[in-house]
Amino acid sequence: MKINVLTLFPEMFENFLQESMIGIAIREKAIDVKLINIRDFAHDKHHTTDDAPYGGGAGMVMKPEPLYEAILYAKQGRDIPVIYFTPQGKLLHQETVNEYSKLDEVILLCGHYKEIDQRIRDTLVTCEISIGDYVLSGGEIPAMVFIDAIARLQDGVLGNIDSALTDSHQNGLLGCPHYTRPPEFMGMKVPEVLISGNHKKIDEWRTEKALEITRRNRPDLLNDET
Ligand code: ADE
């Protein structure tokens, strides 16, 4: 999958793209990330990319011309989804991540300062995504969240695909508790059932715990709200 990132701060992505799962995904060629600096598409002598909002008020708005040119450059005449990260967007869910992870190519547009000029949203943006009900200073961290969530679902990235399918949210529930060696740590023992070797019982225990945690932390995920 090819991911084009349009940003004013490409350096923010550098370590992120080298480490851990994303580093593996890139080295294994499961994803290819191209960073495009929006500032390169500003033609005035100061490379201006933002300006004061019409109508007044605090904050700056990203100008349409450099964004327009940067998006056209990334698209190269092709029909590729352009995702803009904004707290006004639709909340990102695992289901959406699963869908997007199947695409061949996407363009991720990171705003900064207040917002981007609405005319770009009206004409070139195909989807607006929020990563939560809080405001960040820009779309770079949301874009990294999106890339991480997508990359780990690509073939060959996770050693064991089962571990993606049993994640929190893949079946509508939060995940269950996990334990590893030693069997006793500071007087706390690993639940007996997990070392019983009885896989039916283990599955039942995991489902019961997942339900318990979901009921406690995210009752909204359960239809019956119990
Ligand atoms: N940009 C600023 N805040 C954001 C959020 N919560 N989600 C996506 N993009 C954003």
Which CATH number characterizes residue 212's domain?
1.10.1270.20
Per-residue pLDDT reduced to its tens digit, 95-148 = 999 999 999 999 999 998 789 999 999 999 999 999 999 999 999 999 999 999
Tokens 């195909």 found at: 126
- Examine the pLDDT at 224 and tell me if it is beyond 70: no
- For the cut 50, the answer to whether the pLDDT of residue 207 exceeds it is yes
In a domain, 226, yes or no: no
On whether both 195 and 113 belong to a single domain, the answer is no
DSSP code for 167: S
Residues 6+ apart with CB under 8 A from 65: 41, 42, 43
pLDDT of 197: 97
For residue 162, name the pLDDT band (cuts at 50, 70, 90).
low
Ligand 1 close to Cβ of residue 17 (< 6 A): no
What number is the average pLDDT over the span 9-37?
A: 96
Q: Are residues 92 and 191 in the same domain?
A: no
- What is the distance between the alpha carbons of residues 136 and 138, in angstroms, rounded to a whole number? 5
**Cα(116) to centroid(ligand 1), Å:** 12
170 CA from centroid of ligand 1 (Å): 23
- The pLDDT of residue 171 is 87
pTM, entire model: 0.94
How far, in Å, is the centroid of ligand 1 from the Cα of 110?
Answer: 9
Q: Could you tell me if 97 and 32 are in contact, meaning their C-beta atoms sit under 8 angstroms apart?
A: no
The answer to whether residues 11 and 113 belong to one domain is yes
pLDDT at residue 160 is higher than 90: no
Cβ–ligand 1 contact at 142 (below 6 Å): yes
pLDDT of 226: 46
**Domain membership flag for residue 161:** no
Pocket test for ligand 1, best of 85, 88, 96, 109 (most atoms within 8 A of CB): 85
Task: Tell me what the pLDDT averaged over the chain comes to.
Answer: 95
Give percent of the chain with pLDDT exceeding 70: 97
d(CA 150, CA 152) in angstroms, rounded, equals 6
- What residues make up the domain containing 192? 166-221
What are the strands, taking DSSP E only, across the chain?
2-7, 32-37, 50-51, 61-62, 82-91, 105-110, 115-116, 127-130, 184-185, 188-189
Percent of the chain with pLDDT over 90: 89
Q: What's the token pair of residue 138?
A: 């820009």
Interval 202-223 mean pLDDT: 96
110 shares a domain with 71: yes
In this structure, is residue 132 part of a structural domain? yes
Q: Does residue 115 lie in a domain region? A: yes
